[in-house]
Amino acid sequence: MDAEIILRVEDLRTTFDTDEGLVKAVDGVSFELRRGETLGIVGESGSGKSVTNLSILGLIPSPPGRVASGRVLFRGQDLLTLPGPALRAIRGDRIAMIFQDPMTSLNPFLRISTQMMEPLMLHQGLGRRAAKARAVELLLLAGISGAERRIDQYPHQFSGGMRQRVMIAMGLSCNPEILIADEPTSALDVTIQAQILDLIRELTRRTGTAVILITHSLGVVAGICDTLCVMYAGRIVERGPTRAVFAAPRHPYTQGLIRSVPRLDRKYQFVSCIPEGDTEKGPERLASIPGQPPVVVNLPECCPFHPRCDQAMELCRHRHPPATDLGQGREVRCWLYPEGAGHG
Amino acid sequence: MADQPILLEVKGLKLHFPVGGGWFGPPRGWIRAVDGIDFALRRGETLGLVGESGCGKSSTARAVAQLHRPTAGQVLLKGQDLARLDGKALIAARKDLQMVFQDPYGSLNPRMTAGDIIAEPLRIYHTRGILRLSRQDMDLRVGELMERVGLSRGFRNRYPHQFSGGQRQRIGIARALALRPEVILCDEPVSALDVSIQAQILNLFKDLQAEFGLTYLFIAHDLAVIEYIATRVAVMYLGTIAELSDAADLYRNPLHPYTQALLSAAPIPDPEVEATRQRIILAGDVPSPDRARTGCPFVDRCWKRMDACRTHTPRLREAGPGHQVACFLYHDPE
C-alpha cells in the first residue's frame, strides 16, 4: 500500500506519576498510518494501547499523566505542541474517536439528536435543521431503522449494539480522515460484533477514512486490519502487515499470543470453509504464556518480556532490544533479531 | 461418559424476575430470564452453556446454585431437589456444588486475605457443624489448595488488590475447591482475563478435572473456549435451550440456524481464513425477555423461518444420536 502517510507517531513516551513510582505507560512508540488503512493495535490490559491513542488526541489527564516526549505528526502538524483551540478544531472533526463502552460515552440526559448535532454544528457550521437532517441520514447509514423517530430518543432506549452504531455514526459524522476506535466491539455479543465490524469496514471503505483499531482480540484484528502493531509493556514489540505477521510471527510474545487463543477452524469445516480433508486435529492443550504481564512501575533496563520468554538469553536481562527492520514493512524488537539480520 | 451416573439434573427450570409495580403493588410484568430448560450432567463431563448476553446462562447457574430460588422446576443434585431445601439442609446439600464467578475483582472480598478467602467455606461448614476441622487442618488445607491452583503459599496473607486478574481467578478456584465438591458451576470464569492468562486458567480447569474427577457446568460466550473445554454443549437463546449436543457433533454439524449464525460470527484469529469465509450476519437484536411469546424465540432474526415458527413453539427434540434441537426444520410442529 503506497497511499500517503497521514499520521506519523515518533518515539512517543507517556508517563504517569503514581504513589508506587513513575509508570512508563507508553515508552517509545513509533508508527505511521496511511490514508484508507486500518491499523490494529493489540495488547493485553496495561500494555499501553489505549494510552497511546489518548496521547495522540491530547486527552491524557495531567497531572498525573504527562506526554514526556515524541511527536505526533498529523499532515505535518505536531498535535502535541498544538494550542488547545487548534487541537479541539481537529479532534472530533478530522480525527474522530469511538470508545469501548457506548453507555458511558453517550450522555444519558441528552437526546441522541442533541448529541449528534453538536459536532455537525460546531465543526461543519451547519444550522439546526440541516444538522438534524444529516444526523438522520448518518443513523440510517449506520443501519438504524426508523431513524427519524429514534433520533429523538434517549440513549437508554437503545440496545448495546444500537448505541455502538450511534457512536459510529457520530464518529464518522464529520467525514474524519482518521477514526480511532478503542475496543469498539468488546462489550458486544459475537453476532452483534460481526454486524458492527462489517459496518466499520463498509463505511470507512466508502469514505477512505483511516482507522486505528485498539483491541485485545486477535480474531477481530485478523478480520479487519491491514496492518498490526503488537504492544507489550508500553512498547510496540512487533509491527507489520497483518497477514505476514499471522503467517510467521517473529517476536516470541506474538508467537505465544497466537498459539494461546483457542481456534474453532482447526477441526471443524463448517466454521472455516476449509475442505474437511485438510483439517488437522487441534492440540489437546492450549499453549499458554507462563507468568503474569509485568507491572510497568520502575521497570529496569531489560526486555520486559524476558521473564515469560522461552527463548530468553543473558542479553535480554540487561538491555532493551532496539527495533529491527525485517523488510517488507515488518519490524520487531527482540534480541533474536539483531540489527541488520532480518534482510537476509 | 454415557455410563457414568447422573450427578445433576435440571427439569423444567424457570426463573422469572418481577418488574415494576412499586414497593407494595403487584408487579407489572416478568422478565423470563430462564423459561423452562432441561439438562443433565453425568459425572466427569463438562457441559458448556453458550449464548449471548441476556440469554439466561448466568441466571441458569444462579438458579441451579439456589442463589436465586427458581420460579418453577427441579434441580436434582444426586437425586435431592435443591429447590425444595432451605436453611441448613440446603447448605449441607450444596457442599457438593460450588461456583466460580466471572469477575475476579468483584467476587473476592477486598478486606480479606487470600488465605481467609480460601478458608471461608471451610470455616462456614465448620461453625455449622457440617464439617469437623482443626485450625491446623484448615491451614494445611489452604496451603495445599493454593499450591494446587498455582499460587505460592507465601501469598496467603496478601489482599486481593495485590494480585493480578489471573491470580485472583486462581484464588476463586481454590475457594471453590475447598469443600471438595463434585460439581463446579463456572460462570464466565475466563472472559475477564487477558488472552495469555485465559489459556493458563483453561488448562488449570482441565488439569483439576482430570485429577479430582470434577463435573463442570461451564458458561462462556466464546464458542472457541467452549469447544476447548466442553464435552457437551447447550446453546441458549432467550431463556431456552435451542440446541444441545455432544461438542464435536455441534461444531461439525450445527443444526439450529442460531447456532450456525453464532459459529459463523465467531472471529477466527487468522487473516487468511477470515478473508475467505462466509458469514451469516443476523439482522436485528435479541428481543427483550419481558413477555410470554408463542412461537420460536428466534423467529424475528431467523432467515429460514416458516409459518409454523410464529404459531407454534418448538421443543427440544432428538435430531440424531446425542443431538437435540428445538427447530421445526428438523421435526414437525405438534
- Give the position of cell 499453549: A287
pLDDT category of residue A284 using cuts at 50, 70 and 90: low
The pLDDT of residue B141 is above 90: yes
**Range scoring the smallest mean pLDDT among B63-72, B176-185, B271-280:** B271-280
> Residue A102's pLDDT is what?
67
Distance CA A265, CA A242 (A): 18
Contacts A242 to B, Cβ<8 Å: 271
- Which band of pLDDT confidence, cut at 50, 70 and 90, is reported for residue B30? confident
Q: What percent of chain A has pLDDT over 90?
A: 38
Residue B263 C-alpha, separation from nearest chain A C-alpha, in angstroms: 6
Quick one: pLDDT band at residue A61, thresholds 50, 70, 90?
confident
Q: Rounded to a whole number, what is the distance in angstroms from the first to the last CA of chain A?
A: 23
B148 at the A interface (CB within 8 A)? no
pLDDT at A344 > cutoff 50: no
Helix B165-177 crosses helix B135-148 at what angle (to 10 degrees)?
Answer: 130
Kindly tell me if the per-residue pLDDT of A252 is higher than 90: yes
CA B326, CA A247: separation in Å to the nearest integer?
A: 40
Using the Cβ of B206 and the Cβ atoms of chain A, whether some distance falls under 8 Å is answered with yes
| pLDDT digit string, tens, across residues A1-16 | 568 899 999 999 999 9
**pLDDT value at residue B279:** 80
Please report residues of B whose CB lies closer than 8 A to that of A261. Answer: 195, 199, 224, 269
Q: How confident is the model at residue B194 (pLDDT cuts 50, 70, 90)?
A: confident
- Give the pLDDT score at B221: 87
pLDDT for B257 beyond 60: yes
Q: Which residues of A touch B255 (CB under 8 A)?
A: none
How far apart CA B319 and CA B327 sit, in angstroms, is 10
Rounded mean pLDDT of B163-188?
93
Average pLDDT value for residue range A191-210: 84
Look at B227 and A264 and tell me if their CB atoms are within 8 Å.
Answer: yes
CB-neighbour burial class of residue A82 (10 A; exposed 0-12, middle 13-18, buried 19+): middle
Residue range B266-277: mean pLDDT, rounded = 86
pLDDT (0 to 100) of residue A279: 40
Q: Please give the share of chain A, as a percent, with pLDDT higher than 70.
A: 91
Which pLDDT score is estimated for A338?
78
**Torsion sign, CA atoms A199, A205, A209, A213:** positive
d(CA A271, CA B327): 21
Confidence of residue A269 (pLDDT cuts 50, 70, 90): very low
**For residue B316, pLDDT beyond 70:** yes
The CA-atom distances, in angstroms, between A195 and each of A137, A164, A221, A268, B214 are: 19, 11, 15, 23, 38
Q: What pLDDT shows up at residue A281?
A: 41
State which residue of chain B sits closest to A242, comparing Cα positions: B271
| Three-class SS state of B142 | helix
Candidate from A81-90, A210-219, B22-31 with smallest mean pLDDT: B22-31
In this prediction, residues B63-86 reach a mean pLDDT of 94
Q: What is the pLDDT of residues A104-157, one digit of tens each?
A: 788 889 999 999 999 899 888 899 999 999 999 888 878 787 888 889 999 888
Rounded CA-CA distance B318/B324 in Å is 4
Q: Is B271 on the interface with A (CB under 8 A)?
A: yes
pLDDT for residue A239 is more than 60: yes
Report phi then psi at B259, rounded to 5: -60, -40
The three-state DSSP-derived secondary structure of A98-166 is ECCCCCCCCCCCCCHHHHHHHHHHHHCCCCHHHHHHHHHHHHHHCCCCCHHHHCCCCHHHCCHHHHHHH
What pLDDT does residue A335 have? 92
| Percent of chain B with pLDDT strictly greater than 70 | 99
Distance in angstroms (rounded) separating the CA atoms of residues A141 and A202:
10
Chain B positions touching A286 (Cβ under 8 A) are 199, 202-203, 228
pLDDT tens by residue, A305-325: 999 998 999 999 999 899 999
Pick the CATH number of B6-20+29-258 from 3.40.50.300, 1.10.1530.10, 2.60.40.1260, 3.40.640.10: 3.40.50.300
Taking only the tens place, the pLDDT of each residue in B91-138 is 999 999 999 998 888 899 999 999 999 999 999 999 988 888 888 999
The confidence score (pLDDT) of residue B174 equals: 96
pLDDT given for residue A278 in this prediction: 38
The answer for residues whose C-beta is within 8 angstroms of residue A313's C-beta and 6 or more apart is A335
What sign does the dihedral A51-A55-A60-A62 (CA atoms) show?
A: positive
| Cα A135 to Cα A147: distance, rounded to the nearest angstrom | 9
Q: Model confidence at A282, in pLDDT bands (50, 70, 90)?
A: very low
In which element (H, E) is residue B136 found?
helix B135-148
CB of B162 less than 8 A from some CB of A: no
Smallest CA–CA distance, residue A43 to chain B, in Å, is 9
The Cα A26–Cα A48 span in angstroms is 5
- Buried residues in A289-315 as b, exposed as e (16+ CB within 10 A): beebbbebeebeebbbbbebbeebeee
Q: Count CA within 13 A, CB hemisphere, residue B93.
A: 21
Which pLDDT value is given to residue A267? Answer: 61
More confident residue, B262 or B23: B262
Angle at B282 between CA B276 and CA B286, to 5 degrees: 145
Tell me the C-alpha distance between B219 and B49, whole Å: 5
Cell numbers for B204, please give them. 488449570
The H or E element containing residue A84 is helix A84-90
Other CB atoms within a 10 A radius of the CB of residue A115 amount to: 20
Using CA atoms, how far apart are residues B267 and B263, in angstroms rounded to an integer? 9
Flag whether pLDDT at A296 surpasses 70. yes
Is there a contact between A218 and B195 if contact means CB atoms under 8 Å apart?
yes
Please determine, for residue A34, whether its predicted confidence score (pLDDT) is greater than 70. yes
Q: Is B150 on the interface with A (CB under 8 A)?
A: no
Q: Of the ranges B22-26, B61-65, B169-173, B174-178, which one carries the lowest mean pLDDT score?
A: B22-26
**For A260-274, B155-169, B226-240, which range has the lowest pLDDT when averaged over its residues?**
A260-274
What value does the mean pLDDT of chain B take?
90
Nearest CA to B173 out of B194, B203, B196 is that of B203
- Picking from B265, B269, B278, the nearest residue to A222 by CB comes out as B269
- Comparing CB atoms, the residue among A160, A246, A268 nearest residue B252 is A268
Whole-number pLDDT of residue A343: 45
SS (H, E, C) B164-202: CHHHHHHHHHHHHHCCCCCEEEEECCCCCCCHHHHHHHH
pLDDT (average), residues A82-108 = 85
